[in-house]
Structure 1
Amino acid sequence: MKLVIAAATVGAVAAFAPSSMMGTKLSASATRAGGVKMNLEQYKAELAATAKKIASPGKGILAVDESTKTIGKRLASIGIDNSEEARQAYRGLLFTCPEIGNYISGAILYEETLFQNHADGTPFVDCLNKVGVIPGIKVDTGLVPLPGGHPVETWCSGLDGLVERAQKYYAQGARFAKWRAVLQITSDGAPSDLSIQENAWGLARYARAVQEAGLVPIVEPEILMDGDHNVATTAAVQEKVLAAVYKALSDNGVYLEGSLLKPSMTCPGADCEEPVSSEQIAKATVATLEKTVPPAVPGIMFLSGGMSEEEASINLNTMNSFARKGPWSLSFSYGRALQQSCLKAWQGKPENVGAAQAALIARARANSEANQGKYVAGSQPSADETLFVKGYKY
């Protein structure tokens, strides 16, 4: 089987499997270079239990894994300097929010945050565990241009040393991981077969690697909303992408019961002029998932992808309001769509912490209800503006 991958990732892929093993399932008793046994088998029960808990009814994920550069943009929007103290203060108010564990089952952290303490000296990991939220960790090292692909295409870096890093994160208290692959639809050929193949394989190598260290992998093949394509076009591309992803996961022996999927909803491009309803988006999304995602996966935790807070809740609620064949929990792993109102309420002022936490709880409750098909549009306050950012890759 010939597999074309970006030259820059050849060494990283080879670190986990020689080219002769590509397309072949890996035995749990196989060994890595140096004779160290792979550990997936010993973690299977824990992986399945963690994935099931994250995807439990009425629960979802708070994605607070913004890089230092990206969180700086968020803080700048409210006039706050991007200092470690400011990042600590903001994330501290999120992780000590009363009742947050009623609606949030996991929080994805950036590496700085995983090893950081609250202002009172309590490790953030302990803050999260205290409120019943499982700590997770972003493990990729960012997107880079894809040689040989369309000019807009990228691949995700970070496979080198990933098992060892994941072991360190597990020791610190993380129990799941996240890796973001990004694809884009254009009128002149993207995503290319090369981009789909490279990103699917990268997601699969990542997923297998972190499972060997005891971390549940969140598999995130995001399709950006950039473009003027309609829902049907998105659905066709997404079906092809997800089929490639689950083929690669199977080839790498990834334990699906101990994994989660974080896809985009099947939305039209941001510049599409065709009217589209929440029902159309919901039905197209569910239909695409039912064609491609195995029932062994316990949860599908959608990213918000630039939708407004309210729109993300309404679309999720609609998906959970009609009968479907797929058995998975359809829930959320939102960043901006959970934090926008909270950030605006906070404004970097200690006296606003209570108001900021109330705003966070309102959106968390809204999405918890949406996971159960019980959300009433407009019943919770929200920041109604679109959160779409063109070319949101880096």
Structure 2
Amino acid sequence: MNTAQLDRMHSGKGFIAALDQSGGSTPKALAQYGVKEDRYKNDEEMYTLVHEMRTRIIKSPAFDSKYILGAILFENTMDRKIDEQWTADYLWKEKNIVPFLKVDKGLADLANGVQLMKPISNLDELLDRAVERNIFGTKMRSVIKEANQEGIREVVKQQFEIGKQIFNKGLIPIIEPEIDIYSVDKEKSEEILKEEIKQQLNLLDKEVKVMLKLSIPTVNDFYSELISDPHVVRVVALSGGYGQDEANNKLAQNHGLIASFSRALSEGLAADQTEEEFDTKIGKTIKKIYEASIT
């Protein structure tokens, strides 16, 4: 484990950029960027186009370690290069930004009010490759739709079981049990979730470290106990479908919680923008997210 990266993630000022749209969400991300489906004929062409988009974001002067602590990559992005360097190496060596990898394979069908992660059949091989590519940590997502005690317990248990496997490979897992922001009992789900996470943290061996990625809570500073837990490197927030301004406003009310935004980060970016227009737009976005993350 890279101790310089660990120190940066634990105590640095800034946020994590989520650039990890996977196969299912890539067409939507490209469409938002102004690249329609008639621009590519197969997955390889699609992934090449999205890598060009991500490369443009990463190489922008506005994508600066003054504001950004880390970036989450999709597996296909990890296996591609920027200026003849593996993407993770470019992020750290050229930008001083800590690289993470999305490792989950999507969501299972809804049961008990939640969507668990699908089995990650090649996880050991993927984690070994991540270590070779100088990845610092991983991210995996589950979704909570209802305040169902049994379902939420299953989600948290699955996340921590896989998280321990990831930590044993020398990587820091980002545990992401997302609560749907449109859930009618979101606040109750948050109460259950926090207690289940606390129980799992208490079961960890002393040396085990994790990160948490959570929906912005209904009650401000609701996750302060988790932020201060000795096992927790950092607690980050997903935008979860909120627009950029609303996500920033809600985040700013939660002290110590930092952003890990995807949609809110790329909002307003377009393939046909000039470099000046693109850099200006993303620069303004990054500074707003940063300000919301340092409260």
Same topology, TM > 0.5: yes
How many aligned residue pairs are there?
284
After TM superposition, give the deviation of residue 292 of structure 1 in Å.
5.5
* Map of 2:53 onto structure 1: 90
Q: 1:215 to 1:291 in 2, by over 3 A?
A: closer
After TM superposition, give the deviation of residue 70 of structure 1 in Å.
0.6
CA–CA distance in 2 between the matches of 1:355 and 1:206?
42
- Cα contact 2:104–2:120 (8 A) shared by 1: yes
Q: 1:116 to 1:93 in 2, by over 3 A?
A: same
After TM superposition, give the deviation of residue 340 of structure 1 in Å.
0.9
1:262 aligned counterpart, secondary structure: strand
2:13 aligned counterpart, secondary structure: coil
CA–CA distance in 2 between the matches of 1:162 and 1:285?
36
Q: 235-244 vs 302-311, which deviates more?
A: 235-244
Q: Report the residue type matching 2:229 in the other structure.
A: P
* Map of 1:234 onto structure 2: 186
Alignment partner of 1:309 is 2:244? yes
Q: Report the residue type matching 2:253 in the other structure.
A: T
* Map of 1:361 onto structure 2: 283
- Cα contact 2:156–2:197 (8 A) shared by 1: yes
Alignment partner of 1:200 is 2:140? no
* Map of 1:136 onto structure 2: 100
Q: Report the residue type matching 2:254 in the other structure.
A: M
- Cα contact 1:235–1:285 (8 A) shared by 2: no
- Cα contact 2:17–2:261 (8 A) shared by 1: yes
Select which of 258, 263, 271 maps to 1:331: 258
* Map of 1:18 onto structure 2: none
Alignment partner of 1:145 is 2:106? no
After TM superposition, give the deviation of residue 160 of structure 1 in Å.
3.9
After TM superposition, give the deviation of residue 107 of structure 1 in Å.
0.5
Q: 1:358 to 1:170 in 2, by over 3 A?
A: farther
1:106-130 Cα shifts (integer Å, max 9, x gaps):
1000000001123x44432232121
Q: What percentage of aligned pairs have identical amino acids?
A: 23
Q: What is the 5 A alignment of 1:135-284?
A: 135-146=99-110, 149-150=111-112, 153-185=114-146, 191-227=147-183, 229=184, 233-253=185-205, 255=207, 258-267=209-218, 284=219
CA–CA distance in 1 between the matches of 2:5 and 2:202?
20
Q: Report the residue type matching 1:242 in the other structure.
A: K
CA–CA distance in 2 between the matches of 1:354 and 1:115?
29
CA–CA distance in 1 between the matches of 2:6 and 2:177?
18
Q: 1:91 to 1:362 in 2, by over 3 A?
A: same
TM-score, reference length from structure 2:
0.87
Q: What is the 5 A alignment of 1:23-34?
A: none
Tell me, which stretches of 5 or more residues in structure 1 are unaligned? 1-42, 186-190, 268-283, 321-328, 374-394
After TM superposition, give the deviation of residue 54 of structure 1 in Å.
2.0
- Cα contact 1:63–1:334 (8 A) shared by 2: yes
CA–CA distance in 2 between the matches of 1:313 and 1:203?
27
CA–CA distance in 2 between the matches of 1:307 and 1:254?
36
- Cα contact 2:220–2:253 (8 A) shared by 1: no
- Cα contact 1:54–1:60 (8 A) shared by 2: no
- Cα contact 2:70–2:97 (8 A) shared by 1: yes
- Cα contact 2:16–2:260 (8 A) shared by 1: yes
TM-score, reference length from structure 1:
0.66
Q: 1:224 to 1:86 in 2, by over 3 A?
A: same
4+ runs deviating over 6 angstroms? none
Q: Which has the higher strand share?
A: 2
CA–CA distance in 1 between the matches of 2:68 and 2:165?
26
* Map of 1:289 onto structure 2: 223
CA–CA distance in 1 between the matches of 2:158 and 2:227?
18
CA–CA distance in 1 between the matches of 2:58 and 2:90?
6
